[in-house]
Every structure is written in C-alpha cells, then in structure tokens.
C-alpha cells in the first residue's frame, strides 16, 4: 500500500505536488469514491480515476529539451501560448520537471516518471542547476559573497550558491555570470541578482545535475538513455547519504 499522490505520480499522470492539489480539489476517485485525504493509501487492485481519467501504467519516458525563448514551461496555457509539450511529440502524458520563465532559455527535462521528478525538485537532494545570466553592471566582491552565502528574498534566505564571472563588458556595462544553485523557487535567479542591484537581461539554464545541452540547438530535444536515468537516481541516492 502506498500514498495515493505518490501512486498518481508513478502512473505518470502528473507530479506528486500536482496530485496533492487535485486531491484537495476533489478531482480524484478510488473505486468510484472521491478521495481528498492526502495520506490515503491504495493497493495494486484499486482503480484510480483522476479528472475523469482511469489511470493506466505508461512506459517511462525521459526527454531533454533545449527550450527556446517565448515558450512556457507548462503542460497547457490559458493564454494559448506555445508550451514545452508542443515541442516534444509523445504518446505519453509528459510534464516538465520544474519551470523556466517565458523568456528564459535552456535545459528542461520532461518525463512521466513522477517519482524521479519529485526527487529532482526537492531541495534536500541538492541537485545542481547551472544558469548563465547576462546582467547589467559588474558584480562586486561583496555582491558575489552575498550571493554565495545566501540572501533574503521576500523574507526567505536562499541556500548557498556558487558564482563565477565568465565575461565582463566594461564598454556596455554588463557581465556574463555563471550561477549554480540547487533550489528552484519562482523567478529565483532573477530575484537573487535583483537583490544585489543587478537586472538580468538574458538567462539560460545550462546544466541539471550532469545533464547538459551538448548537441542540442534551441528547440531541439533528445531522449535520455537508460544509463543516464540510472545515473540520475544514483546522484539522488548519494545526496541522501
């Protein structure tokens, strides 16, 4: 017997967090009865229905996408904007692991493996995310120290990060900065730079764990191989020790 939100995620319907939202809204049935209890447990013989869909096991799929500018990192969009799902044809119900802003480019992982998605997104597992930001101005030593030690954003202190200056353009008063974090709060990177007085002009996610965009142009994607999937799980297991 397992908690129902975990089972829904493992079926590949959505992430565990989204499953909890659907439970609270009364969108989940087990054997014909609406279930709203987050701790409710189900077994292999139980029939689970989510938003009118009977859940069936899907073959796990893992896709790495180089997200272009002007695409939203959601399954659907009420403003009819192009989504990352539109760029990745699949017969499975995929969803993105975390989000990138509309105008932020770079690495997005899409999957129907809810358990892996949840593990990758949980801050306690400290999965590295590498961003390359073009910012206004030039970071001072004090700015770098503040970013690396953690700064207050809306009353919450960010975890420690790593900062590296890649390029300085004194003529145009701008810099290219590499920032490594393992959190994924809403607009976090932009808010971190704004907190030390620097506006982000362009932003790209270059790496997630060991995964990079090598060989992928903007808008292109590829499937992860079994070895890469196993390595992702191993990185998470090693971080928990």
Per-residue pLDDT of the chain (241 residues; tens, 9 = 90+): 999 998 998 887 887 888 999 999 999 999 999 999 998 999 989 999 999 999 987 889 999 999 999 999 999 899 999 999 999 999 888 989 999 999 999 999 999 998 898 889 888 888 999 999 999 999 999 999 999 999 999 899 999 999 999 999 999 999 999 999 999 888 999 999 999 999 999 999 999 999 999 999 999 999 999 999 999 999 888 766 5
Q: Which CATH number describes the domain made up of 128-208? A: 3.30.70.1560
3-state secondary structure of 84: helix
> How many residues are there in the chain?
241
Residue 20 has which token pair?
A: 């909890």
Q: Are 26 and 20 in contact (CB under 8 A)?
A: no
Angle (CA) 67-108-132 rounded to 5° is: 75
Q: Tell me the pTM.
A: 0.83
- Active-site residue (options: 46, 78, 86, 101): 101
Q: Tokens 């989000």 appear where?
A: 99
> Residue 28's pLDDT is what?
97
3-state secondary structure of 55: coil
Q: Which CATH number describes the domain made up of 62-122+216-240? A: 3.30.70.580
Check the CA dihedral 151-18-100-162 and report its sign.
positive
Question: What are the sequence ranges of the domains in the chain?
Answer: 2-54, 62-122+216-240, 128-208
Helix (H) or strand (E) holding 164: strand 162-169
Q: Are 182 and 239 in contact (CB under 8 A)?
A: no
Buried b (16+ CB within 10 A) or exposed e, 142-155: ebbebbeeebebee
Residue 1 has which token pair?
A: 């017997």
Q: Which CATH number describes the domain made up of 2-54? A: 3.10.290.10
3-state secondary structure of 238: helix
> Residue 186's pLDDT is what?
87
Find, among 53, 29, 25, 51, the residue nearest to 40 by Cα.
Answer: 29
| Whole-number Å distance between alpha carbons of 8 and 42 | 10
> Residue 236's pLDDT is what?
85
| Whole-number Å distance between alpha carbons of 75 and 108 | 13
Q: Which residues have C-beta within 8 Å of that of residue 184, sequence separation ≥ 6?
A: 98, 99, 121, 123, 129
101 assigned to active site: yes
Q: Do domains 62-122+216-240 and 128-208 have the same CATH topology?
A: yes
């Amino acid at each position: 017997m397992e908690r129902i939100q975990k089972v829904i995620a493992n079926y590949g319907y959505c992430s565990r967090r989204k499953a909890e939202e659907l439970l609270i809204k009364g969108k989940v049935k087990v054997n014909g009865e609406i279930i709203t209890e987050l701790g409710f447990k189900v077994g292999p013989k139980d029939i689970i229905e989510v938003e009118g869909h009977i859940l069936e096991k899907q073959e796990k799929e893992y896709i790495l996408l180089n997200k272009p500018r002007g695409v939203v990192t959601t399954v659907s969009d009420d403003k009819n904007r192009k989504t990352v799902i539109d760029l990745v044809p699949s017969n499975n119900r995929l969803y993105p692991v975390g989000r990138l802003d509309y105008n932020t480019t770079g690495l997005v992982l899409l999957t129907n493996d809810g358990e892996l998605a949840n593990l990758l997104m949980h801050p306690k597992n400290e999965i590295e995310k590498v961003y390359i930001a073009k910012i206004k101005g030039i970071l001072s030593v004090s700015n770098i120290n503040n970013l690396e030690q953690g700064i207050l954003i809306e009353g919450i202190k960010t975890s420690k990060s790593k900062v590296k200056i890649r390029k300085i353009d004194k003529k145009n008063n701008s810099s290219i900065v590499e920032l490594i974090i393992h959190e994924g709060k809403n607009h976090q990177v932009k808010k971190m730079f704004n907190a030390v007085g620097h506006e982000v002009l362009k932003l790209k996610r270059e790496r997630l764990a060991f995964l990079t965009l090598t060989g992928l142009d903007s808008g292109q994607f590829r499937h992860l191989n079994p070895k890469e999937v196993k390595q992702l799980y191993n990185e998470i297991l090693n971080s928990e020790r």
